[in-house]
Structure 1
Amino acid sequence: MSVFTPLHESDIKEFLIPFNVGELIRYSGIDGGSENTNYFVDTRDSEGQHHSLVLTLVERGPVNELPFFIELLACLHKSDLPVPYSIADRTGLALHTLKDRPALLQPRLSGKHPDQPTIGQCAALGEFLAALHKASCTGRLQRHNDRGPDWVLKSAQLMLNKQWQDDAVWLIPALKQLCDWYKTTPRLPEAIIHGDLFRDNAMMTEDKVTGVIDFYNAATGWMLMDLAICVNDWCVSLPGEDKLSLDPQRIDALLQAYATLRPFTEEEKSAWPYVLQLAALRFWVSRQQYASQHQNKAGVLIKDPDYFRQTFMLHAASANTNLTPHS
């Protein structure tokens, strides 16, 4: 992520004093993101053990809900999922303050972001998501999803009257069809979903998920939505192809691996084409909003909204196809 709050060596050394991680060896800011300040931090303890860590300063978002995220990640860590749980200090405190911002110290996860996901990596992702949903749907944790389907559809209608007027010819009927479906859809199975599991929020070593980060969009929501978000990023055409398209082999690998651990309901199978649309529309809206708010701001990564415009258009055009998850 981008460095919004610069830290000096003395700042980090003082921050580390309450933790059992030893002395600071090196640190470096992590560039390229849009929400929080993150630093790689390497330490060595008195026994010579090396610790690779990430120090995060929370710059925006639901700061008051940080205890929820800390508890969620602790729960997932206990389920043996590779997530950046918060390390507690010697008093048991996991949430700290640095430079007047909430600060978390977390383990650095291994692996690399998958630029061109393979069929095996998509299958591994499906297994991870199923394990995540099974772990998060049985506990007491709940969090309102402020970017759920209601927000998506209302925001899209506002965009239609402003930034998206040039798309009105095809977008008006597409939104009407989606809204009509949503008004009559049955309640779909829910859990705490990641909500943002793009390739740059996952680390892989060959065909194994070794880390999933950035849970700040996690909330109670349709489990199917997590899968649709992943399909829209992990299972699309690779660089060099002429136009955006879906890769059926990678989609099947992801969905079948998931369904092995959590079979889909009949309602989910029926809803799948529409949830794919909602997932694409959700990020078209949020990227458009973010791009408008942060134009010409140095050091802020602005992702192209047009990618999800094309993705939504692709799904809207094929809403009546037989693309459904396997059970």
Structure 2
Amino acid sequence: MAVFTEVSPAQAQALLDHLQLGTLSSLRGIGAGIENTNYFVDCTRGDGHLHRYVLTLFERLTAEQLPFYLRLMQHLAQRGVPVPEPHADATGEILFEVAGKPAAIVDRLHGGHQLAPDAFHCQQVGATLARMHLAGRDFGMHQPNLRGLAWWREVVPQILPFLEADQAGLLKSELTYQEQLAASAEFAQLQQHHSGPIHADLFRDNVMFEPGEGPGRERLTGFFDFYFAGCDTWLFDLAVCLNDWCIDLTTGVLIEERAAVFVSSYESVRPLSGAEHRLLPALLRAAALRFWVSRLYDLHLPREASLLKPHDPRHFERVLRERIAKPWHALHDGAKA
């Protein structure tokens, strides 16, 4: 969510007019993130109230790829999952062009991030993630996870020259491990029976909470930033969350009590199969590898942007080393039958 493409007030107002959303009162670039150009857009209407949106210009995704993300958000929102719904024009179109780039405008969620979550936050995210997975089962479009195994194979050779010998060795050995996992019969069953649209990037800063009843009892208001979404195993999505919501950010160590609550809450909506329980340690490694690779790529092969804050890849190197050294099972007394 960096600002790669400048948007003028006149350009923003033209889209607001087309969608009949009101008169622009504020346009502010969002500096967090590294993939798309995002702006907070505030406007007023005849009712006198302030209406708040997010305008996204897509820098890498093509006009052919984008309908998957936007229609998925629309699909989930219409099934009661708390996600920003894209605004459509009179013809039902939700993808537009601003400053020469594909663009969309969605509702801005209420509240703020919880960057120091506890078990109560994990409980809400886990249950909502499972609801999202179930709601997406009848989504009619398909697109692979574009940051999955095929992408790792493509970019790892490009980033290896930047790494120290021990890092390069770890990266190559883990890629081999994940290739062997992907070729296994049990993983094929996971893909066939326990997969669908996933968020694939549901970190702490992609979930919003607002104050609830009592101190520390914040209420989840929604998931956003679906522009890494794709079709993959639901377990991979769960692993991505566990590697962010349930760890010590300094060391990468998994906080088991928090992780257990997250998984238990998820399973209260969609129970995991025996295969999913058995493969969870391997998918935790896959999720760590995915973000280590992408952060290395963004650090060493960056793009220009007026606001750009690349993330430190060493964080997910630590997470990966932890998941290899200390495999974690949601069930410590053995996997389900």
Match of 1:10 in 2: 10
**In structure 2, what is the Cα distance between the partners aligned to 1:222 and 1:65?**
20
Among candidates 185, 210, 213, match of residue 221 of structure 2: 210
Once the two structures are overlaid, the 10-residue window that deviates more, 247-256 or 197-206, is: 197-206
**In structure 2, what is the Cα distance between the partners aligned to 1:141 and 1:174?**
31
Aligned sequence identity (%) = 33
Compute the TM-score of the two structures, normalised by the length of structure 1. 0.90
For 2:222, give the aligned amino acid: G
Match of 1:278 in 2: 286
Match of 1:226 in 2: 237
For 1:254, give the aligned amino acid: F
**In structure 1, what is the Cα distance between the partners aligned to 2:94 and 2:116?**
35
Once the two structures are overlaid, the 10-residue window that deviates more, 135-144 or 155-164, is: 155-164
Could you list the runs of 5+ residues in structure 2 that have no partner in the other structure?
211-216
**In structure 2, what is the Cα distance between the partners aligned to 1:9 and 1:168?**
46
Change (3 A) 1:71 1:172: closer
Match of 2:277 in 1: 269
Among candidates 288, 291, 302, match of residue 299 of structure 2: 291
- Give the aligned CA root-mean-square deviation in angstroms: 2.5
Change (3 A) 1:67 1:183: closer
Please list, as runs of the form range in 1=range in 2, the aligned pairs for 1:1-327 lying within 5 A after superposition.
1-152=1-152, 155-156=155-156, 163-167=163-167, 176-186=176-186, 187=188, 188=190, 189-205=194-210, 206-237=217-248, 243-294=251-302, 299-319=307-327, 322-324=329-331
Kept in 1, the 8 Å contact 2:123–2:262? The answer is yes
Kept in 2, the 8 Å contact 1:69–1:216? The answer is yes
SS of alignment partner, residue 4 of structure 1: coil
Change (3 A) 1:30 1:173: closer
Kept in 2, the 8 Å contact 1:144–1:219? The answer is yes
Kept in 1, the 8 Å contact 2:53–2:108? The answer is yes
Change (3 A) 1:156 1:10: closer
**In structure 2, what is the Cα distance between the partners aligned to 1:168 and 1:95?**
41
**In structure 2, what is the Cα distance between the partners aligned to 1:95 and 1:295?**
24
SS of alignment partner, residue 229 of structure 1: helix
Compute the TM-score of the two structures, normalised by the length of structure 2. 0.87
Change (3 A) 1:295 1:64: closer
**In structure 2, what is the Cα distance between the partners aligned to 1:118 and 1:193?**
23
| Shift in Å, 1:62 | 3.6
| Shift in Å, 1:158 | 6.7
| Shift in Å, 1:174 | 5.2
Deviation track 1:153-204 (CA, whole Å, cap 9, x = no partner) reads 6655775576252335666665555444443241211010001111111112
Once the two structures are overlaid, the 10-residue window that deviates more, 296-305 or 64-73, is: 296-305
| Shift in Å, 1:2 | 2.0
For 2:71, give the aligned amino acid: E
| Shift in Å, 1:136 | 0.8
**In structure 2, what is the Cα distance between the partners aligned to 1:305 and 1:141?**
32
Change (3 A) 1:185 1:11: same
**In structure 1, what is the Cα distance between the partners aligned to 2:183 and 2:262?**
28
Kept in 2, the 8 Å contact 1:224–1:275? The answer is yes
Kept in 2, the 8 Å contact 1:270–1:324? The answer is no
Could you list the runs of 5+ residues in structure 1 that have no partner in the other structure?
none
Once the two structures are overlaid, the 10-residue window that deviates more, 27-36 or 176-185, is: 176-185
**In structure 2, what is the Cα distance between the partners aligned to 1:91 and 1:22?**
18
**In structure 2, what is the Cα distance between the partners aligned to 1:303 and 1:29?**
19
